[in-house]
Structure 1
Amino acid sequence: MSKKLLLVDVDCGVDDAQALMMALAAPEVEILGITCCHGNTLVDHVCGNVLRVLQVCDRLQIPVYRGASGPLLGEAHSINASHYHGKDGLGDVPDPAAPGLDCLQKEHAVLAMLRIANEYSGQVSLVATGPLTNLALAVNMDPTFPQKIKSLFIMGGNMESRGNTTVCGEFNFACDPEAAYIVLNAFECPTYIATWEFTCQNCLSWAFHKECIHQDTKKAEFMRKIYAHAAEFTERCSDDLGEDWGKGFVSCDSYAMAAAIDESFVTNAMTCAVSVELSGTYTRGMMVLDTIGKLNKKQKASVMTKCDMEKFKRFMMAALK
């Protein structure tokens, strides 16, 4: 059976790292390239973090590309997630033996996206776990780009107007609302979205998380180290971050990756047109769900609501074996 071809766009923090390791462990998946974007940390940190993940998984042959260093509009790095992911994005536990940025491909991430989409037209699924800046730039450079993508899997946005960065904005969309707007309105391929609320409502138990990261492997040791900062923040601040946060372990980006690996992971979804609010005083960056057809959009997205948690656990355990 031919492998599923993935192109993965990340702003590599700890949950992007987990998601990448999940895909790398899936025997039915081939990652054609990893493109890097601003978001959880500076884009150069993101690039270095991806290389660290590939090194611990013995997969440094996968090409990595540097992409956008800031949003389409607005001030670069006005939003970051250092409080959760650490300043470097991977818990501020540097590795002196980590690969250098000279291991990156010379080609820009957006150009690599366009080239790979052309070379494998209709065969590649695109997984986006950070701000959607690279994807939007690719659309602007080549409006036919979305037509060449087989399917799109996004971690981002919200479905109940709950924010984790602004009052109504989820981090990835709030980092670059214009990019999210362009992508949600340009792609007509099957699109699956793992929203912030969905990930919180389908969290894993802390007992399972402990079991997962305490496997006796170098991958599990790596995850224990990079996640310690985020775990401490979650324990310290969960009471201030909303009723869903802190009830269990949430690896947000891993839900979108699990769906890309196996679409049967998604057991229920709300199918509707989606867009992004760009100008609201409190709602800029909020994902809009058109449940009554007012947007008159032909293309509908599958906004995940339920998933196969037993399958998710298997993916998470396999990622760190």
Structure 2
Amino acid sequence: DGEGNRSRISDAALFMAEEARRLDGELLILALGAQTNLAGAWESDHDFFDHLAGVTCMGCITEPLILNGTVLGELNFSVDPEAGYTVLTKGRNVTLLTGNHCLPSYTKHETYESRLLGSGRPVGKYIYDRTSDWFREKVLRFGLDGFYNWDEAAAARICGKPYFSDQKLCFTPSVEDLRRGFIGGTSSGNEVCINTPVITDPEGLEDSYFQNWLCLDM
């Protein structure tokens, strides 16, 4: 605004604010990256979160996220911590799939290969061929034989998949903590209680991924 304050109001933010008001109480939002547009929607309309049915976010950590001995930095809330703080403190019916809580959702390469290529469906081969570099990167960077389904888990939760157990946890988030994606609550700020689901059936959840991917037509 010319005084060093950053506005997050964008076309996307305005669209969400308008749709939330139009659909009053019916719109669920799945947020898989930085919370910038959500914060922008609230900046444009302070009643934005009141018009939503809820927000499900993938992100934050409750403790260091270590993959095969390598520390993985949080890449969602830490990208725009002020926006993340807005969502956590102003939002209503917020569900948060943290990086730590998503760790049980892990798919091995051999399972991925056999389910997709063994399906006999063109979409299975297409997905496998297009994601082979992803596995190569994980092997080189983390020495893993598979990958964690961070975003898929959040999408499954917002779709009401029965593979989770909801739990309300209370935090005192701060912008400073969120700069590293941490939501453990070391500040003396306002306490917020957020639904942080736990994966209780990782095998069933994994099977649901493949069933839905292989339903796509090509």
TM range, smaller chain:
0.7 to 0.9
Contact 1:155 1:253 in 2 (8 A): yes
- The share of aligned pairs that are identical, in percent, is 20
Could you state the TM-score of these two structures normalised by the residue count of structure 2? 0.79
Between the aligned partners of 1:248 and 1:306, the Cα distance in structure 2 is: 18
Aligned twin of 1:126: 29
Aligned twin of 1:78: none
Task: Tell me, yes or no, if structure 1 residue 209 matches structure 2 residue 112.
Answer: yes
Question: Structure 1 counterpart of 2:128, which letter?
Answer: R
Between the aligned partners of 1:147 and 1:218, the Cα distance in structure 2 is: 43
Aligned twin of 1:174: 78
Between the aligned partners of 1:141 and 1:287, the Cα distance in structure 2 is: 27
- 1:114-193 alignment runs, 5 A limit: 114-162=17-65, 169-189=73-93, 191-193=94-96
Unaligned runs of 5+ in 2: none
Bigger CA radius of gyration = 2
Aligned twin of 2:154: 256
1:56-81 CA distance string (max 9 Å, x none): xxxxxxxxxxxxxxxx96xxxxxxxx
- 1:1-321 alignment runs, 5 A limit: 108-162=11-65, 169-189=73-93, 191-214=94-117, 215-239=119-143, 246=144, 248-262=146-160, 264-269=162-167, 271-274=168-171, 276-279=173-176, 284-290=179-185, 295-297=189-191, 299-321=192-214
Unaligned runs of 5+ in 1: 1-71, 74-106, 240-245
SS at match of 2:195: strand
Between the aligned partners of 2:108 and 2:72, the Cα distance in structure 1 is: 26
Question: Could you tell me how far 1:248 is from its partner in structure 2?
Answer: 3.8
Provide closer, same or farther for how the CA distance between residues 182 and 262 of structure 1 changes in structure 2, counting only shifts above 3 A: same
Question: Could you tell me how far 1:151 is from its partner in structure 2?
Answer: 1.8
Contact 2:105 2:149 in 1 (8 A): no
Question: Could you tell me how far 1:163 is from its partner in structure 2?
Answer: 7.4
SS at match of 1:147: helix
SS at match of 1:262: coil
Question: Could you tell me how far 1:160 is from its partner in structure 2?
Answer: 1.1
Between the aligned partners of 2:42 and 2:115, the Cα distance in structure 1 is: 38
SS at match of 2:24: coil
Question: Structure 2 counterpart of 1:249, which letter?
Answer: F
Question: Could you tell me how far 1:295 is from its partner in structure 2?
Answer: 4.3
Could you state the TM-score of these two structures normalised by the residue count of structure 1? 0.56
Contact 2:102 2:153 in 1 (8 A): yes
Between the aligned partners of 2:171 and 2:122, the Cα distance in structure 1 is: 41
RMSD over equivalenced CA pairs, Å: 2.8
1:167-221 CA distance string (max 9 Å, x none): 78411112111111111111022x2211112222431333322233323334323
Between the aligned partners of 1:193 and 1:170, the Cα distance in structure 2 is: 14
Provide closer, same or farther for how the CA distance between residues 119 and 311 of structure 1 changes in structure 2, counting only shifts above 3 A: farther
Between the aligned partners of 1:163 and 1:182, the Cα distance in structure 2 is: 27
Between the aligned partners of 2:185 and 2:198, the Cα distance in structure 1 is: 16
SS at match of 2:56: strand
Between the aligned partners of 1:312 and 1:108, the Cα distance in structure 2 is: 35
Question: Structure 1 counterpart of 2:27, which letter?
Answer: V
SS at match of 2:158: helix
Between the aligned partners of 1:259 and 1:279, the Cα distance in structure 2 is: 28
Provide closer, same or farther for how the CA distance between residues 218 and 130 of structure 1 changes in structure 2, counting only shifts above 3 A: farther
